[in-house]
Structure 1
Amino acid sequence: MDTSLTAPSAPAGTRTTGPGGRRGFGTLLAVDLWERFSFFGMAAILVLYLTAPRARGGMDMAPQSAAAVFAAYMSLSFMAGLPGGWLADRVLGARRAVLLGGSLIGCGHLVLAAPWAGTLYPGLLLVVAGTGLVKPAMAAMVAEISGAGPGRREAAFSLFYVCIQVSALVAPVVTGLLAERIAWHLGFAAAAAGMLAGLLQFTLGMRAFGDVGVRPPRPVDRAELRAVLRRVCVVAAAAGAVTVPPAVLGVLPVNAVLAVLGLATVGLPFAYLRALRRLPADGHLTGAAQDVRDEPGRRGGTAPGKTGAAAGDGGPTDPGPRARLGAFTAMMAASAAFWMIFAQGGSALSLFADRHTDRDLFGFEVPASWFQSLHPLFVLLVAPFLARLRAGAWQRVGTPAKFAGALAAAGTSFVLMAVAARLAEDGPVGPSWLVLVYLLYSCGEIALAPAGLALAAAVAPPGSTSRFLAVNGLFGAVGVVIGGQLYRLTAVLPLSVYFALVGVVVLTVAAAVTLGAGRLSRRLAVD
């Protein structure tokens, strides 16, 4: 893995100062460590809190409803990245977006930590709004600091992705112990403390960024901003008119709201990318994709100074922006199947750990939330082996092949869960089933997540990196919300049948990506 971040090549108009690349990357890493601590800490305990009986301080929800709420929270966090990325690109700049978003996340966790009725949904909405600002802005700053070229960019995202797993490993242990053994709200308070520490780290380290993230790359003009504000006010007023009166009267149909949200989540990324297809079909590469094609020795690349078809003028080696966008859409849709399984680690697998797993360890009952630490633990253990491969064979593996491998691992994990659920019908099963399942989809995440981020950055037009990274997150939201709604099938299907059904569907998607890998690679023209 190429982890050199010293003095990277900066985009035009961006200045990096001295060793700012490395120091700036370190500051971003520290901030994301704390932000991920708050995120994973709350994710580990949210479903358990929602399903815990009121006598234990919980919400006493049915498992299916709790899984749907968790999925809605996760999908909204992804969806919020689209307006958050727009604000970072056009209004705030990445740096102010991180500061504002981190403040909202911290406030949201503090609201959840308050031991009062009615704090659940306001607190979750604050966390969602903050996450939508922080994640695309942070990713854009990482992409900018890492420099041009897919190898450098994917290496930076890979290192970033692996290092933050330290906080993902520790967070469920800390918040889970506080929440399950003392008080649920104390677990949320620990998540708030983590985010506030991240904000402090970011504020103290801002000088390391040079000019990166100070200003929006494509500032919005006042007329466009006024038009956007008018549309936002109309949508907000309509949503408020529909939801606020029933909520005040206590008759708001939560399941209906979740269903509408699910439909909007599934449709939004496709509608957004369809709008992008209206870009002029001039056949020219833009943004990071040009960096890829200009690298000598890369498939489809040319030596400096070459012109013509091989240089991206719409010839046979250049599929054109619309074809590339279509292939990108197909890849993102396939990734949604992976995230459909991945996101159920905090709901379906967490409930399985709580209700169907023998958690006794030498007389100590392991908190169910601690199983959430298995995923980051495996990322940390497996990533060094993958890093060695990145320097050799893995670097020659195309993005579609990486996606297909990740999908195959995720699908297999749920087939194994089907076996475990069948055995659990006769009594609690050993923890080795969950250990193996987390290992499989952790390997899948290491393969898919950095490749997906790098792909989104590679196809993004200049000044739109944050929004294309947000599109990557939107398809994650599609998977999350579909998984949350599918879990409702467990009310009528045996748990083993549910796991088997979802696993087979994802394996089918993996097979489809494998069969179309060659065509996808030619259309993407970034491998």
Structure 2
Amino acid sequence: MNQQDTRFFGHPLGLAFLFFTELWERFSYYGMRAILVLYIYSSIDDGGLGWTQKSALALYGWYTMLVYLMSIPGGYVADKYLGQKRTVMLGGILLCIGHGILAVDALWAFYAGLAFIVMGVGGLKPNISTMVGGLYTEGDPRRDKGFTIFYIGINVGAFIASIIVGYVGETIGWHYGFGLAGIGMLLGQIVFVYGQRYLVGVGDYTPAPKIEGTNRNAPLTKVEKDRTVVLLISFLIVIVFWGAFEQAGGLMNIYAKEKVDRVFFGLFEIPASVFQSVNAFFIITFGTIVAAYWDRRRRKGGEVSSLYKMAIGTIVMGLGFLMMAFASIEASAEPFGRAGMYWLILAYWLHTLGELSASPVALSFITKLAPLKVASLMMGVYFAMTGFGNKVAGWIGEAAQIDPIEIVYTGNAELLQEFEEAAQAISEDKGFSFRAKLYPQTDGSWILETYEDGKPLQQLFALSGNAETVAKDEAYIKKALQDGKATQEKPYHATLRFNKDVEARKIKANKGDGKDYSGTLVIEEVQNRAELYTFLFITVFTVLFGIILIAFLKPLKALTHGAENDKHEE
């Protein structure tokens, strides 16, 4: 590209089109991500799929993992066949199709839409960044600042998407939110197509050049082997960091919905998904501050190696979950309690500071250490490990959700006269729920009664399943009450949710008959404890992991053989 092209804040005008393309692509991705888990576990009456929270987090883990894994074939297709420009175009088309399909209210559309989005992100995400680099000739001092501007576009898109798409999805309708995300992607695709005239020669397909002096069949040298060992350790850091950080769209999103007081000064309630914008906001506002801190530390002769930054970033990010532990303690202080939103904001602030220290240096570190003959393979492994970190995030989120006890509704019209809201819901074939007190009897049995006025609830339901399952659930409830030393004066608490079978709803003759209802029973104290232990586990593990890295920093740096000083002579 022409170094004299300074039409976009001193940078090539092509950067503007890549900036806005990525902004709208990230708008679509993060907008959809903000409401994905909430949509999956929301009840059918609220327009969701009605899955359990554990199942929602499991799917979220698979989805976010596959998004990163598809970056590998996306990069391969660009390198071998299409070039970055055409692969980005193809990825954008697939994304538009995927988001458009998600706007359709049908289960097949949900799965198909996710599949298209996974393929689309895999084609677009790894290649548009490469195109940014292609705007500059070798040695152009504007390159780093160009990537900084591009990175701002990513976070501006993520910020506005979480607010707008999140609000529309939660308050108007999930599929309107998905559709809005699709409109964002369509705008990004239009920008990219229009900007082709300013991207001539950027991202076009060219056969991969042979690396002179490199024998791909030759064994690795001692230096290359040492650097590869450090690379493998850095991949472990990637898994740990993203396995914790990516709780944002999963566990922390659900926690914001269920356990955080989101009423803003008594004026209005903030949708849970809107809090997904906090991370992007902090990146925009604290990005230069964190960069200035590391630059000042470097000038003063302090430790600023990539491994050190990644270790510090992991520790700081992990401390954010200590804020979530405090939130859990506050929410558990009273029955069906909620934590202040300030804990959530503090957690995201620490997560952002950690991300700004660890994430920007990871890719650069890999390019410096990877042996030339396996550089592409190492980059692919990096994306794979990032994907695996996202799957680990899903596993951790699942661990924080207890398996609900399956129950079946057995009440009748006469019994429902005492429960007006439930009776009204049943007359309309809608779902209903109860908040209850749970405590043991002297004979070993247990009692459930409404939290507000003490009406007995056990006459309305029975434990679901065969005799073995029922016995297992009975034992589980009794043990929970015993471990918690619950009494009638200091009871445990439970939430019961009932929903009518989807197929039974479709039969008009069954309307309002109260049949085909099943549900779940969750003991609040047990669920609160699982979340608290999960937050504490993440904190302790990430902090200890970072401290161990720092303890072994000197020998690990020695194994890099000065790679970070750009000394590549063997």
TM class by shorter chain equals 0.7 to 0.9
Which amino acid is the alignment partner of residue 516 of structure 1? F
- Relative distance call for 1:139 and 1:25 in structure 2 (3 A) is same
| Mapped contact 1:101–1:129 kept (Cα < 8 A) | yes
TM-score normalised by the chain length of structure 1: 0.74
| Mapped contact 2:216–2:373 kept (Cα < 8 A) | no
Which amino acid is the alignment partner of residue 381 of structure 2? V
- Relative distance call for 1:181 and 1:155 in structure 2 (3 A) is same
CA distance in 1, matches of 2:282, 2:268: 23
Residue in 2 that maps onto 1:271: none
| Mapped contact 1:108–1:127 kept (Cα < 8 A) | yes
Residue in 1 that maps onto 2:388: 478
- Relative distance call for 1:331 and 1:85 in structure 2 (3 A) is same
| Mapped contact 1:406–1:444 kept (Cα < 8 A) | yes
| Mapped contact 1:93–1:216 kept (Cα < 8 A) | yes
CA distance in 2, matches of 1:513, 1:137: 32
Residue in 2 that maps onto 1:417: 324
TM-score normalised by the chain length of structure 2: 0.69
Residues 336-345 or 138-147, more deviating: 138-147
**RMSD value over aligned CA atoms?**
2.9
| Mapped contact 1:409–1:444 kept (Cα < 8 A) | yes
Shift of 1:331: 0.8
Shift of 1:389: 3.8
| Mapped contact 1:399–1:521 kept (Cα < 8 A) | no
Residue in 1 that maps onto 2:53: 63
In structure 2, which of residues 108, 123, 126 is the aligned counterpart of residue 136 of structure 1? 126
The question of 1:407 aligning with 2:314 is answered: yes
Q: Deviations over 1:16-68 (max 9, x none)?
A: 99999632322222111111001100010001101110001101111111011
Residue in 2 that maps onto 1:494: 530
- Relative distance call for 1:467 and 1:36 in structure 2 (3 A) is farther
CA distance in 1, matches of 2:109, 2:366: 36
CA distance in 1, matches of 2:276, 2:246: 11
Which amino acid is the alignment partner of residue 548 of structure 2? A
- Relative distance call for 1:191 and 1:167 in structure 2 (3 A) is same
| Mapped contact 2:228–2:370 kept (Cα < 8 A) | no
CA distance in 2, matches of 1:457, 1:147: 18
Question: Aligned runs of 1:287-302 on 2, under 5 Å?
Answer: none
Residue in 2 that maps onto 1:512: 548
- Relative distance call for 1:162 and 1:18 in structure 2 (3 A) is closer
Residue in 1 that maps onto 2:225: 322
CA distance in 2, matches of 1:464, 1:278: 8
CA distance in 1, matches of 2:232, 2:240: 13
The question of 1:347 aligning with 2:250 is answered: yes
Name the SS of the counterpart of 1:218 in structure 2.
coil
Name the SS of the counterpart of 1:344 in structure 2.
coil
Shift of 1:209: 2.9
Residue in 1 that maps onto 2:183: 193
Residue in 2 that maps onto 1:298: none
In structure 1, which of residues 1, 7, 11 is the aligned counterpart of residue 3 of structure 2? 7
| Mapped contact 1:458–1:526 kept (Cα < 8 A) | yes
Q: Deviations over 1:293-336 (max 9, x none)?
A: xxxxxxxxxxxxxxxxxxxxxxxxxx632322221221121121
Name the SS of the counterpart of 2:178 in structure 1.
helix
Shift of 1:387: 3.8
CA distance in 2, matches of 1:459, 1:151: 23
CA distance in 2, matches of 1:35, 1:87: 20
The question of 1:374 aligning with 2:278 is answered: yes
Residue in 2 that maps onto 1:233: none
Name the SS of the counterpart of 2:315 in structure 1.
helix
| Mapped contact 1:281–1:320 kept (Cα < 8 A) | no
Shift of 1:160: 2.6
| Mapped contact 1:51–1:62 kept (Cα < 8 A) | yes
The question of 1:82 aligning with 2:72 is answered: yes
- Relative distance call for 1:90 and 1:464 in structure 2 (3 A) is farther
- Relative distance call for 1:388 and 1:51 in structure 2 (3 A) is same
- Relative distance call for 1:420 and 1:17 in structure 2 (3 A) is closer
- Relative distance call for 1:332 and 1:350 in structure 2 (3 A) is same
CA distance in 1, matches of 2:140, 2:220: 23
Question: Aligned runs of 1:49-198 on 2, under 5 Å?
Answer: 49-145=39-135, 156-198=146-188
| Mapped contact 2:53–2:401 kept (Cα < 8 A) | no
Shift of 1:415: 2.2
- Relative distance call for 1:18 and 1:31 in structure 2 (3 A) is closer
Residues 158-167 or 38-47, more deviating: 158-167
Which amino acid is the alignment partner of residue 436 of structure 1? L
In structure 2, which of residues 360, 375, 398 is the aligned counterpart of residue 450 of structure 1? 360
- Relative distance call for 1:89 and 1:507 in structure 2 (3 A) is same
Which amino acid is the alignment partner of residue 533 of structure 2? V
Equivalent pairs counted in the alignment come to 425
- Relative distance call for 1:112 and 1:453 in structure 2 (3 A) is same
Q: Deviations over 1:207-265 (max 9, x none)?
A: 33342211144299xxxxxxxxxxxxxxxxxxxxxxxxxxxxxxxxxxxxxxxxxxxxx
CA distance in 1, matches of 2:393, 2:258: 20
CA distance in 1, matches of 2:380, 2:21: 19
Shift of 1:349: 0.7
- Relative distance call for 1:468 and 1:115 in structure 2 (3 A) is same
Shift of 1:452: 1.2
| Mapped contact 2:6–2:12 kept (Cα < 8 A) | no
Name the SS of the counterpart of 2:107 in structure 1.
coil
Q: Which runs of 5+ in 2 are unaligned?
A: 403-528, 566-570
Richer in strand (by share)? 2
Higher relative contact order (CA 8 A, sep 6+): 1
Name the SS of the counterpart of 2:349 in structure 1.
helix
CA distance in 1, matches of 2:237, 2:140: 21
Residues 370-379 or 473-482, more deviating: 473-482
Which amino acid is the alignment partner of residue 196 of structure 1? L
Q: Deviations over 1:500-525 (max 9, x none)?
A: 11221111221122122233333331
Residue in 1 that maps onto 2:267: 363
Name the SS of the counterpart of 1:35 in structure 2.
helix
Q: Which runs of 5+ in 1 are unaligned?
A: 9-15, 221-276, 284-318
* Structure with greater Cα Rg: 2
- Relative distance call for 1:282 and 1:421 in structure 2 (3 A) is closer
